[in-house]
């Protein structure tokens, strides 16, 4: 599974990255979690609000910082 956190490094982006890493560990999912902080790269996903969570090239949420438990539900 390929997971990307889109954001320019704001506190919410950092928190989403941390929560996502924790969710992956708790679920035992085989996934790569990557930060994408380049504006041109973020724009390719047509995201209007960051942070955004992308799972296997599909934007699954934007502008939110859900708990690790909520993120874990998206990893199923």
| Token pair recorded at residue 17 | 């990255």
Residues with a catalytic annotation lie at: 10, 13
| Token pair recorded at residue 22 | 């924790």
Contact at 8 Å (CB) between 31 and 2? yes
Report the predicted TM-score, pTM, of the whole model to 2 decimal places: 0.93
9 phi-psi bin (left φ>0, alpha ψ -120 to 50, beta other): left
Tell me which residues of the chain have a pLDDT lower than 50. Answer: none
Tell me the chain's radius of gyration from C-alpha atoms.
11
* pLDDT value of position 59: 97
* pLDDT value of position 76: 78
**Structural domain span for residue 19:** 2-74
CATH number of the CATH domain containing 64:
3.40.30.10
User: Considering its fold, how many domains does the chain have in total?
Assistant: 1
């Amino acid at each position: 599974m390929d997971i990307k956190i889109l954001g320019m490094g704001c506190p919410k982006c950092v928190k989403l990255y941390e929560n996502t890493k924790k969710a992956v560990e708790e679920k035992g999912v085989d996934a790569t979690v990557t930060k994408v902080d380049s504006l041109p790269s973020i724009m390719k996903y047509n995201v209007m609000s960051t942070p955004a969570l992308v799972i296997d090239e599909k934007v699954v949420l934007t502008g939110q910082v859900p708990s690790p438990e909520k993120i874990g539900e998206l990893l199923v």
